Structure 1
Amino acid sequence: MSLPTGDTEAPEPTTAERIHSLLSTTSSLAVRALGEHHHLDTPVSVHGSRLRLRTALDDPLTTAVAGAGAGDGLAVVLDVTDVSPVAVRDRVRARLTLAGRLHLAHLADDGLSVHLRVDVAHAVLATPYGTGAVTAADLALAAPDPMARHEAAMLTHFADDHAEALDILTRLLDPAVLVHSPEVRPLALDRHGLVLRLDHPHGHRDVRLVFPEPARDTEEFGHRMHELLAAAQYGLPVHRH
Protein backbone atom coordinates (compact mmCIF):
# COMPACT_ATOMS: atom_id res chain seq x y z
CA MET A 1 0.00 0.00 0.00
CA SER A 2 1.62 3.23 -1.12
CA LEU A 3 1.00 6.08 1.26
CA PRO A 4 1.25 9.80 0.59
CA THR A 5 4.79 10.90 1.38
CA GLY A 6 6.79 14.06 1.71
CA ASP A 7 9.94 14.86 -0.20
CA THR A 8 11.57 11.59 0.91
CA GLU A 9 10.08 8.31 -0.23
CA ALA A 10 9.45 5.85 2.57
CA PRO A 11 11.00 2.44 1.92
CA GLU A 12 8.29 -0.08 1.16
CA PRO A 13 7.75 -3.20 -0.96
CA THR A 14 7.57 -2.73 -4.72
CA THR A 15 4.32 -3.24 -6.62
CA ALA A 16 5.57 -6.62 -7.88
CA GLU A 17 6.46 -7.69 -4.34
CA ARG A 18 3.04 -6.63 -3.08
CA ILE A 19 1.39 -8.68 -5.81
CA HIS A 20 3.43 -11.75 -4.86
CA SER A 21 2.57 -11.21 -1.19
CA LEU A 22 -1.14 -10.93 -1.91
CA LEU A 23 -1.21 -13.97 -4.19
CA SER A 24 0.77 -16.09 -1.74
CA THR A 25 -1.75 -15.45 1.05
CA THR A 26 -5.09 -15.35 -0.76
CA SER A 27 -7.52 -18.26 -0.80
CA SER A 28 -10.24 -16.62 -2.86
CA LEU A 29 -10.30 -15.05 -6.30
CA ALA A 30 -12.57 -14.41 -9.25
CA VAL A 31 -11.81 -15.52 -12.81
CA ARG A 32 -13.37 -13.81 -15.82
CA ALA A 33 -13.40 -15.92 -18.97
CA LEU A 34 -15.65 -16.10 -22.06
CA GLY A 35 -17.99 -13.50 -20.56
CA GLU A 36 -18.53 -15.53 -17.39
CA HIS A 37 -17.43 -14.91 -13.81
CA HIS A 38 -16.11 -17.84 -11.78
CA HIS A 39 -15.48 -17.56 -8.04
CA LEU A 40 -12.78 -19.91 -6.76
CA ASP A 41 -11.94 -20.76 -3.16
CA THR A 42 -8.46 -22.12 -3.66
CA PRO A 43 -4.91 -21.30 -2.60
CA VAL A 44 -2.70 -19.83 -5.31
CA SER A 45 0.78 -21.17 -5.93
CA VAL A 46 3.10 -18.57 -7.48
CA HIS A 47 6.18 -19.35 -9.55
CA GLY A 48 7.56 -16.15 -11.03
CA SER A 49 4.89 -14.96 -13.48
CA ARG A 50 3.05 -18.28 -13.47
CA LEU A 51 0.24 -19.16 -11.11
CA ARG A 52 -1.23 -22.54 -10.21
CA LEU A 53 -4.91 -22.89 -9.28
CA ARG A 54 -7.04 -25.91 -8.47
CA THR A 55 -10.60 -26.57 -9.64
CA ALA A 56 -13.01 -29.49 -9.56
CA LEU A 57 -13.26 -31.69 -12.62
CA ASP A 58 -16.89 -30.72 -13.08
CA ASP A 59 -16.32 -26.99 -12.50
CA PRO A 60 -17.50 -24.85 -15.47
CA LEU A 61 -14.09 -23.18 -15.58
CA THR A 62 -12.39 -26.57 -16.01
CA THR A 63 -14.75 -27.32 -18.88
CA ALA A 64 -14.03 -23.95 -20.50
CA VAL A 65 -10.25 -24.47 -20.31
CA ALA A 66 -10.52 -27.98 -21.70
CA GLY A 67 -12.59 -26.64 -24.58
CA ALA A 68 -9.89 -24.12 -25.43
CA GLY A 69 -7.47 -26.91 -26.32
CA ALA A 70 -3.80 -27.25 -25.52
CA GLY A 71 -2.53 -24.41 -27.72
CA ASP A 72 -2.73 -20.81 -26.59
CA GLY A 73 -5.04 -21.61 -23.70
CA LEU A 74 -7.96 -19.50 -22.54
CA ALA A 75 -7.76 -15.71 -22.17
CA VAL A 76 -8.66 -14.81 -18.57
CA VAL A 77 -8.67 -11.94 -16.11
CA LEU A 78 -8.19 -12.68 -12.42
CA ASP A 79 -9.44 -10.40 -9.66
CA VAL A 80 -8.11 -10.56 -6.08
CA THR A 81 -9.12 -8.26 -3.22
CA ASP A 82 -6.82 -7.47 -0.30
CA VAL A 83 -8.90 -6.98 2.85
CA SER A 84 -7.41 -5.89 6.16
CA PRO A 85 -7.52 -8.68 8.77
CA VAL A 86 -8.20 -6.00 11.40
CA ALA A 87 -11.68 -4.50 11.64
CA VAL A 88 -11.45 -0.93 10.35
CA ARG A 89 -13.63 1.29 8.22
CA ASP A 90 -12.90 0.80 4.51
CA ARG A 91 -11.15 -2.54 4.99
CA VAL A 92 -10.18 -3.01 1.32
CA ARG A 93 -6.46 -2.24 1.14
CA ALA A 94 -5.96 -3.06 -2.54
CA ARG A 95 -7.53 -4.63 -5.62
CA LEU A 96 -5.41 -6.74 -7.93
CA THR A 97 -6.23 -7.48 -11.57
CA LEU A 98 -4.14 -9.93 -13.61
CA ALA A 99 -4.51 -10.75 -17.30
CA GLY A 100 -3.09 -13.84 -18.95
CA ARG A 101 -3.71 -17.26 -20.48
CA LEU A 102 -5.17 -20.21 -18.58
CA HIS A 103 -4.08 -23.79 -19.33
CA LEU A 104 -4.78 -27.26 -17.99
CA ALA A 105 -1.73 -28.43 -16.05
CA HIS A 106 -2.44 -31.94 -14.74
CA LEU A 107 -4.92 -34.06 -12.83
CA ALA A 108 -4.71 -33.75 -9.06
CA ASP A 109 -3.84 -36.74 -6.90
CA ASP A 110 -7.42 -37.03 -5.62
CA GLY A 111 -8.66 -37.70 -9.16
CA LEU A 112 -11.52 -35.27 -8.57
CA SER A 113 -9.83 -31.97 -9.35
CA VAL A 114 -7.27 -30.50 -11.73
CA HIS A 115 -4.41 -28.04 -11.49
CA LEU A 116 -4.61 -25.06 -13.82
CA ARG A 117 -1.71 -22.84 -14.90
CA VAL A 118 -2.04 -19.12 -15.50
CA ASP A 119 0.67 -17.44 -17.58
CA VAL A 120 0.37 -13.83 -16.44
CA ALA A 121 0.98 -11.19 -19.11
CA HIS A 122 0.54 -8.11 -16.94
CA ALA A 123 -1.01 -7.04 -13.64
CA VAL A 124 -2.42 -3.88 -12.05
CA LEU A 125 -2.55 -3.21 -8.31
CA ALA A 126 -4.89 -0.41 -7.23
CA THR A 127 -4.83 1.06 -3.72
CA PRO A 128 -6.53 4.15 -2.26
CA TYR A 129 -3.24 5.97 -2.86
CA GLY A 130 -2.49 5.09 -6.45
CA THR A 131 -2.20 2.40 -9.08
CA GLY A 132 0.83 0.39 -10.15
CA ALA A 133 1.22 -1.78 -13.26
CA VAL A 134 3.78 -4.54 -13.77
CA THR A 135 4.72 -6.94 -16.55
CA ALA A 136 5.40 -10.66 -16.49
CA ALA A 137 9.11 -9.84 -16.42
CA ASP A 138 8.64 -7.71 -13.29
CA LEU A 139 6.78 -10.52 -11.54
CA ALA A 140 9.41 -13.07 -12.54
CA LEU A 141 12.08 -11.08 -10.69
CA ALA A 142 10.06 -10.45 -7.51
CA ALA A 143 9.18 -12.47 -4.40
CA PRO A 144 6.71 -12.09 -1.53
CA ASP A 145 7.63 -9.89 1.41
CA PRO A 146 9.03 -12.15 4.18
CA MET A 147 6.30 -10.95 6.54
CA ALA A 148 3.41 -11.68 4.16
CA ARG A 149 2.44 -15.12 5.47
CA HIS A 150 2.55 -13.90 9.06
CA GLU A 151 0.92 -10.50 8.58
CA ALA A 152 -2.71 -11.40 9.37
CA ALA A 153 -1.87 -13.23 12.61
CA MET A 154 0.58 -10.56 13.75
CA LEU A 155 -1.80 -7.68 13.02
CA THR A 156 -4.76 -9.26 14.79
CA HIS A 157 -2.57 -10.16 17.79
CA PHE A 158 -1.29 -6.60 17.92
CA ALA A 159 -4.79 -5.12 17.65
CA ASP A 160 -6.40 -7.48 20.18
CA ASP A 161 -3.68 -7.81 22.80
CA HIS A 162 -1.43 -4.74 22.64
CA ALA A 163 -3.61 -1.65 22.72
CA GLU A 164 -1.14 -0.04 25.12
CA ALA A 165 1.63 -0.39 22.52
CA LEU A 166 -0.54 1.40 19.95
CA ASP A 167 -1.01 4.27 22.39
CA ILE A 168 2.75 4.49 22.86
CA LEU A 169 3.41 4.48 19.11
CA THR A 170 1.13 7.50 18.61
CA ARG A 171 3.83 9.56 20.37
CA LEU A 172 5.85 9.17 17.17
CA LEU A 173 3.16 10.86 15.08
CA ASP A 174 2.77 14.49 14.17
CA PRO A 175 0.36 15.93 16.77
CA ALA A 176 -1.58 17.53 13.92
CA VAL A 177 -2.89 14.12 12.78
CA LEU A 178 -4.21 13.41 16.29
CA VAL A 179 -6.29 16.55 16.81
CA HIS A 180 -9.60 14.73 16.31
CA SER A 181 -8.60 11.96 18.76
CA PRO A 182 -8.76 9.22 16.13
CA GLU A 183 -9.05 5.55 16.93
CA VAL A 184 -5.70 3.96 16.10
CA ARG A 185 -5.57 0.48 14.60
CA PRO A 186 -2.77 -1.48 12.91
CA LEU A 187 -3.61 -1.75 9.21
CA ALA A 188 -0.63 -3.40 7.51
CA LEU A 189 2.93 -4.49 8.07
CA ASP A 190 5.91 -5.62 6.02
CA ARG A 191 9.67 -5.89 6.42
CA HIS A 192 10.04 -2.11 6.19
CA GLY A 193 7.59 -1.08 8.90
CA LEU A 194 4.07 -0.76 10.24
CA VAL A 195 1.06 1.13 8.86
CA LEU A 196 -1.42 2.62 11.32
CA ARG A 197 -4.99 3.60 10.45
CA LEU A 198 -6.13 6.80 12.19
CA ASP A 199 -9.92 6.70 12.11
CA HIS A 200 -12.16 9.57 13.24
CA PRO A 201 -15.77 10.55 12.53
CA HIS A 202 -14.78 12.76 9.58
CA GLY A 203 -12.60 10.23 7.76
CA HIS A 204 -9.34 8.41 8.17
CA ARG A 205 -5.64 8.67 7.43
CA ASP A 206 -2.94 5.99 7.16
CA VAL A 207 0.54 6.62 8.50
CA ARG A 208 3.61 4.44 7.91
CA LEU A 209 6.23 4.06 10.66
CA VAL A 210 9.49 3.00 9.06
CA PHE A 211 12.09 0.72 10.64
CA PRO A 212 15.74 1.86 10.61
CA GLU A 213 16.60 -1.43 8.89
CA PRO A 214 14.29 -3.94 7.15
CA ALA A 215 13.33 -7.11 9.03
CA ARG A 216 14.35 -10.39 7.41
CA ASP A 217 12.04 -12.61 9.49
CA THR A 218 9.49 -12.52 12.31
CA GLU A 219 12.18 -12.47 15.00
CA GLU A 220 13.81 -9.41 13.49
CA PHE A 221 10.38 -7.84 13.03
CA GLY A 222 9.84 -8.18 16.79
CA HIS A 223 13.16 -6.48 17.46
CA ARG A 224 12.27 -3.64 15.08
CA MET A 225 8.93 -3.13 16.83
CA HIS A 226 10.70 -2.90 20.19
CA GLU A 227 13.00 -0.29 18.66
CA LEU A 228 9.98 1.76 17.56
CA LEU A 229 8.42 1.50 21.01
CA ALA A 230 11.69 2.57 22.63
CA ALA A 231 11.89 5.52 20.24
CA ALA A 232 8.36 6.51 21.23
CA GLN A 233 9.03 6.21 24.95
CA TYR A 234 12.33 8.08 24.93
CA GLY A 235 11.71 10.63 22.20
CA LEU A 236 14.14 9.23 19.64
CA PRO A 237 13.74 10.20 15.95
CA VAL A 238 11.93 7.81 13.60
CA HIS A 239 10.79 7.94 9.97
CA ARG A 240 7.06 8.44 9.44
CA HIS A 241 5.08 9.06 6.25
Structure 2
Amino acid sequence: MTDNRRPPAPHPAERARTIAARGGRAALLPSDGTENRVTPLLHHVHACGDATILLPDDHPLTKAAESGEITAMLELADHAAVPLREPVRGLLWVTGWLRTMDPSDARAACLEVAEERPDPRLLDVGHGASVLRLVPASLVVADAEGTTSLRPELFAQADPDPFHQQEDHWLRHLELSHRDVVGLLGRHLPEELRGGHVRPLGLDRFGLRLRVETVDSDHDVRIAFSRPVATSGELAVELRRLMGCPFLAQRR
Protein backbone atom coordinates (compact mmCIF):
# COMPACT_ATOMS: atom_id res chain seq x y z
CA MET A 1 0.00 0.00 0.00
CA THR A 2 1.38 3.45 -0.93
CA ASP A 3 2.22 5.80 1.94
CA ASN A 4 0.78 9.21 1.00
CA ARG A 5 1.84 10.98 4.17
CA ARG A 6 3.81 14.19 3.66
CA PRO A 7 7.36 14.17 5.06
CA PRO A 8 7.84 16.18 8.25
CA ALA A 9 8.58 19.87 7.69
CA PRO A 10 9.04 23.00 9.80
CA HIS A 11 5.91 24.60 11.23
CA PRO A 12 4.62 27.51 9.11
CA ALA A 13 5.61 30.00 11.85
CA GLU A 14 9.16 28.62 11.80
CA ARG A 15 9.30 28.91 8.02
CA ALA A 16 8.05 32.50 8.28
CA ARG A 17 10.67 33.36 10.92
CA THR A 18 13.37 31.83 8.72
CA ILE A 19 12.40 33.92 5.68
CA ALA A 20 12.32 37.02 7.90
CA ALA A 21 15.72 36.23 9.42
CA ARG A 22 17.32 35.80 5.99
CA GLY A 23 16.14 39.25 4.98
CA GLY A 24 15.40 38.58 1.34
CA ARG A 25 14.26 41.12 -1.22
CA ALA A 26 11.52 43.42 -0.02
CA ALA A 27 8.70 45.40 -1.53
CA LEU A 28 6.30 47.68 0.34
CA LEU A 29 2.77 47.85 -1.04
CA PRO A 30 0.48 50.61 0.24
CA SER A 31 -3.23 49.78 0.38
CA ASP A 32 -4.29 52.85 -1.61
CA GLY A 33 -5.37 50.93 -4.68
CA THR A 34 -2.41 52.09 -6.79
CA GLU A 35 -0.55 48.76 -6.57
CA ASN A 36 2.75 50.67 -6.60
CA ARG A 37 5.59 48.51 -5.28
CA VAL A 38 8.12 50.46 -3.24
CA THR A 39 11.63 49.13 -2.64
CA PRO A 40 12.80 50.18 0.86
CA LEU A 41 16.28 51.53 1.43
CA LEU A 42 16.49 48.96 4.24
CA HIS A 43 14.06 46.60 5.96
CA HIS A 44 14.24 44.44 9.05
CA VAL A 45 11.55 42.18 10.51
CA HIS A 46 11.90 41.82 14.26
CA ALA A 47 11.17 38.66 16.24
CA CYS A 48 7.81 40.08 17.32
CA GLY A 49 6.75 40.57 13.69
CA ASP A 50 7.15 44.36 13.65
CA ALA A 51 9.16 45.65 10.70
CA THR A 52 11.52 48.62 10.65
CA ILE A 53 11.69 50.22 7.20
CA LEU A 54 13.86 53.02 5.80
CA LEU A 55 12.49 55.27 3.06
CA PRO A 56 13.68 58.61 1.66
CA ASP A 57 12.45 61.65 3.60
CA ASP A 58 10.57 62.96 0.57
CA HIS A 59 8.90 59.67 -0.40
CA PRO A 60 5.08 59.94 -0.62
CA LEU A 61 4.67 57.03 1.81
CA THR A 62 6.92 58.74 4.34
CA LYS A 63 4.80 61.87 4.12
CA ALA A 64 1.49 59.98 4.19
CA ALA A 65 2.47 58.04 7.33
CA GLU A 66 3.62 61.17 9.21
CA SER A 67 0.11 62.38 10.00
CA GLY A 68 -1.24 59.00 11.09
CA GLU A 69 -1.09 55.26 10.53
CA ILE A 70 -1.83 53.89 7.08
CA THR A 71 -2.30 50.27 6.07
CA ALA A 72 0.41 48.59 4.02
CA MET A 73 1.94 45.22 3.25
CA LEU A 74 5.62 44.27 3.29
CA GLU A 75 6.51 41.42 0.95
CA LEU A 76 9.71 39.43 1.48
CA ALA A 77 10.90 37.11 -1.28
CA ASP A 78 13.17 34.24 -0.28
CA HIS A 79 15.45 33.56 -3.26
CA ALA A 80 17.22 30.28 -3.88
CA ALA A 81 20.98 30.12 -3.32
CA VAL A 82 21.63 28.76 -6.84
CA PRO A 83 20.37 30.09 -10.20
CA LEU A 84 16.98 28.56 -11.06
CA ARG A 85 14.34 29.16 -13.70
CA GLU A 86 11.96 30.10 -10.89
CA PRO A 87 14.27 31.62 -8.25
CA VAL A 88 11.73 32.51 -5.53
CA ARG A 89 11.31 29.56 -3.17
CA GLY A 90 9.18 31.29 -0.55
CA LEU A 91 7.25 34.47 0.22
CA LEU A 92 6.31 36.21 3.44
CA TRP A 93 3.67 38.94 3.54
CA VAL A 94 3.37 41.16 6.61
CA THR A 95 0.19 43.27 6.57
CA GLY A 96 -0.49 45.94 9.16
CA TRP A 97 -0.27 49.58 10.13
CA LEU A 98 2.57 51.79 8.93
CA ARG A 99 3.69 55.03 10.56
CA THR A 100 6.67 57.33 10.27
CA MET A 101 8.59 57.45 13.55
CA ASP A 102 9.58 60.66 15.27
CA PRO A 103 13.35 61.35 15.58
CA SER A 104 13.67 59.97 19.12
CA ASP A 105 11.85 56.71 18.35
CA ALA A 106 13.70 56.45 15.04
CA ARG A 107 17.09 56.53 16.78
CA ALA A 108 15.96 53.82 19.21
CA ALA A 109 14.69 51.69 16.32
CA CYS A 110 18.01 52.04 14.47
CA LEU A 111 19.92 50.92 17.54
CA GLU A 112 17.62 47.94 17.89
CA VAL A 113 18.21 46.94 14.27
CA ALA A 114 21.98 47.53 14.53
CA GLU A 115 22.24 45.07 17.43
CA GLU A 116 20.98 42.28 15.16
CA ARG A 117 22.04 43.54 11.75
CA PRO A 118 24.69 46.27 11.57
CA ASP A 119 24.25 48.12 8.30
CA PRO A 120 25.87 51.39 7.12
CA ARG A 121 22.53 52.51 5.63
CA LEU A 122 21.28 53.10 9.18
CA LEU A 123 23.66 56.09 9.28
CA ASP A 124 21.51 57.79 6.63
CA VAL A 125 18.67 58.27 9.13
CA GLY A 126 18.38 62.00 9.75
CA HIS A 127 20.41 62.65 6.59
CA GLY A 128 17.85 62.01 3.89
CA ALA A 129 16.25 58.82 5.22
CA SER A 130 13.31 58.34 7.57
CA VAL A 131 12.36 55.36 9.73
CA LEU A 132 8.91 53.80 9.47
CA ARG A 133 7.47 51.05 11.65
CA LEU A 134 5.02 48.44 10.35
CA VAL A 135 3.01 46.79 13.14
CA PRO A 136 1.49 43.54 11.85
CA ALA A 137 -2.15 42.56 11.93
CA SER A 138 -1.46 39.30 10.10
CA LEU A 139 1.29 37.41 8.30
CA VAL A 140 1.11 34.90 5.44
CA VAL A 141 3.87 32.48 4.45
CA ALA A 142 3.80 30.69 1.10
CA ASP A 143 6.21 28.07 -0.25
CA ALA A 144 6.19 24.51 -1.58
CA GLU A 145 4.93 23.29 1.81
CA GLY A 146 1.76 25.37 1.45
CA THR A 147 0.25 28.79 2.16
CA THR A 148 -0.64 29.63 5.76
CA SER A 149 -1.96 32.71 7.55
CA LEU A 150 -0.35 33.40 10.92
CA ARG A 151 -1.22 35.52 13.92
CA PRO A 152 1.63 37.81 15.02
CA GLU A 153 1.87 36.09 18.41
CA LEU A 154 2.39 32.69 16.73
CA PHE A 155 5.17 34.18 14.59
CA ALA A 156 6.78 35.67 17.71
CA GLN A 157 6.79 32.31 19.51
CA ALA A 158 8.73 30.54 16.74
CA ASP A 159 12.47 30.46 16.08
CA PRO A 160 14.18 30.54 12.67
CA ASP A 161 15.77 27.34 11.43
CA PRO A 162 19.14 26.72 13.15
CA PHE A 163 20.94 26.49 9.78
CA HIS A 164 19.46 29.57 8.11
CA GLN A 165 22.73 31.53 8.18
CA GLN A 166 24.86 28.75 6.67
CA GLU A 167 22.28 27.27 4.29
CA ASP A 168 23.01 29.34 1.18
CA HIS A 169 26.77 28.75 1.40
CA TRP A 170 26.29 25.00 1.81
CA LEU A 171 23.83 24.75 -1.09
CA ARG A 172 26.09 26.74 -3.45
CA HIS A 173 29.02 24.52 -2.49
CA LEU A 174 26.91 21.44 -3.17
CA GLU A 175 25.82 22.79 -6.57
CA LEU A 176 29.27 23.90 -7.74
CA SER A 177 31.61 21.31 -6.24
CA HIS A 178 29.60 18.15 -5.53
CA ARG A 179 27.28 17.37 -8.41
CA ASP A 180 28.07 13.70 -7.71
CA VAL A 181 26.51 14.12 -4.27
CA VAL A 182 23.41 15.71 -5.80
CA GLY A 183 23.16 12.66 -8.04
CA LEU A 184 23.23 10.37 -5.03
CA LEU A 185 20.49 12.38 -3.36
CA GLY A 186 18.44 12.09 -6.53
CA ARG A 187 17.98 8.40 -5.82
CA HIS A 188 15.34 9.41 -3.27
CA LEU A 189 13.17 11.17 -5.86
CA PRO A 190 9.92 9.66 -7.15
CA GLU A 191 10.52 7.51 -10.21
CA GLU A 192 8.71 9.90 -12.56
CA LEU A 193 11.09 12.79 -11.69
CA ARG A 194 14.43 11.04 -12.00
CA GLY A 195 15.07 12.21 -15.55
CA GLY A 196 14.96 15.89 -14.69
CA HIS A 197 17.73 18.32 -13.77
CA VAL A 198 18.15 18.08 -10.00
CA ARG A 199 19.18 21.22 -8.10
CA PRO A 200 19.74 21.82 -4.35
CA LEU A 201 16.92 24.10 -3.20
CA GLY A 202 16.83 24.18 0.60
CA LEU A 203 18.07 22.68 3.82
CA ASP A 204 16.50 22.82 7.29
CA ARG A 205 16.47 20.79 10.47
CA PHE A 206 13.89 18.37 9.04
CA GLY A 207 15.55 17.57 5.72
CA LEU A 208 16.68 18.63 2.26
CA ARG A 209 14.63 20.17 -0.52
CA LEU A 210 15.49 19.51 -4.16
CA ARG A 211 14.18 21.35 -7.23
CA VAL A 212 13.67 19.09 -10.25
CA GLU A 213 13.55 21.07 -13.49
CA THR A 214 11.91 19.14 -16.31
CA VAL A 215 11.24 20.31 -19.86
CA ASP A 216 7.90 21.90 -19.10
CA SER A 217 7.63 22.25 -15.30
CA ASP A 218 9.42 22.46 -11.95
CA HIS A 219 8.88 20.20 -8.96
CA ASP A 220 10.02 20.75 -5.37
CA VAL A 221 10.64 17.56 -3.39
CA ARG A 222 11.43 17.25 0.32
CA ILE A 223 13.74 14.44 1.44
CA ALA A 224 13.25 13.90 5.15
CA PHE A 225 15.93 13.16 7.72
CA SER A 226 15.27 10.26 10.08
CA ARG A 227 14.90 12.82 12.88
CA PRO A 228 15.15 16.61 13.29
CA VAL A 229 18.74 17.84 13.70
CA ALA A 230 20.13 20.81 15.60
CA THR A 231 23.91 20.72 15.09
CA SER A 232 26.30 20.40 12.16
CA GLY A 233 27.41 17.02 13.52
CA GLU A 234 23.87 15.67 13.53
CA LEU A 235 23.36 17.11 10.06
CA ALA A 236 26.47 15.32 8.74
CA VAL A 237 25.16 11.99 10.07
CA GLU A 238 21.84 12.47 8.29
CA LEU A 239 23.49 13.48 5.02
CA ARG A 240 25.70 10.39 5.13
CA ARG A 241 22.61 8.29 5.70
CA LEU A 242 20.80 9.82 2.71
CA MET A 243 23.78 9.43 0.38
CA GLY A 244 24.80 6.00 1.56
CA CYS A 245 28.45 6.97 1.04
CA PRO A 246 30.32 8.28 4.13
CA PHE A 247 33.46 9.21 2.17
CA LEU A 248 31.64 11.59 -0.18
CA ALA A 249 29.64 13.12 2.66
CA GLN A 250 32.81 14.08 4.49
CA ARG A 251 34.51 15.80 1.53
CA ARG A 252 34.93 19.59 1.74
The verdict on a shared fold, with TM-score over 0.5 as the criterion, is yes
Are 1:23 and 2:26 matched, yes or no?
Answer: no
Aligned residue number for residue 170 of structure 1: 186
**Pair 1:11-2:8 in alignment:** yes
Q: Is 1:101 the counterpart of 2:97 in the alignment?
A: yes
The alpha-carbon deviation at position 203 of structure 1 amounts to 2.3
1:130 aligns to 2:126 (yes or no): no
1:187 & 1:99 partners in 2: Cα distance?
27
Residue 81 of structure 2 is aligned to residue 77 of structure 1? no
**Cα shift at 1:219:** 4.2
Distance in 1 separating the partners of 2:216 and 2:161: 33
Aligned partners of 2:164 and 2:204 also within 8 Å: yes
Which runs of 5 or more residues in structure 2 are unaligned? Answer: 111-121, 248-252
Aligned to 1:47: 47
Query: Is the CA contact 2:19–2:91 (under 8 Å) kept in the aligned structure 1?
Result: no
Q: Quickly say closer, same or farther: Cα 1:6–1:30, change in 2 above 3 A.
A: farther
Aligned residues: 223
Which residue in the other structure is 1:238 paired with? none
How much has 1:12 moved relative to structure 2?
0.9
Q: Shift of the alpha carbon at 1:166?
A: 0.8
* Counterpart residue number, 2:115: none
Corresponding residue number in structure 2 for 1:237: none
Paired residue type of 2:29: R
After TM superposition, the structure 1 = structure 2 runs for residues 120-159 of structure 1, keeping only pairs within 5 Å, are 120-127=136-143, 130-159=146-175
Amino acid at match of 1:135: R
* Structure 1 portions without partners, runs of 5+: 234-241
One-letter amino acid of the structure 2 residue matched with residue 102 of structure 1: L
Residues 27 and 43 in structure 1, CA contact (< 8 A), matched pair in contact too: no
205, 225, 238: which one pairs with 2:239?
225
- CA RMSD in angstroms comes to 2.6
Report the CA distance shift for 1:41/1:84 in structure 2 as closer, same or farther (over 3 A): farther
CA offset at residue 64 of structure 1?
Answer: 2.5
SS, match of residue 226 in structure 1: helix
Contact kept, 8 Å, 1:171 with 1:232, in 2: the verdict is no
- 2:226 aligns with 212
Amino acid at match of 1:88: L
How high is the sequence identity, in percent, across the aligned residues? Answer: 26
User: Structure 1 residues 43 and 160, CA, compared in 2 at 3 Å: closer, same or farther?
Assistant: farther
Cα distance in 2 for residues equivalent to 1:144 and 1:25: 9
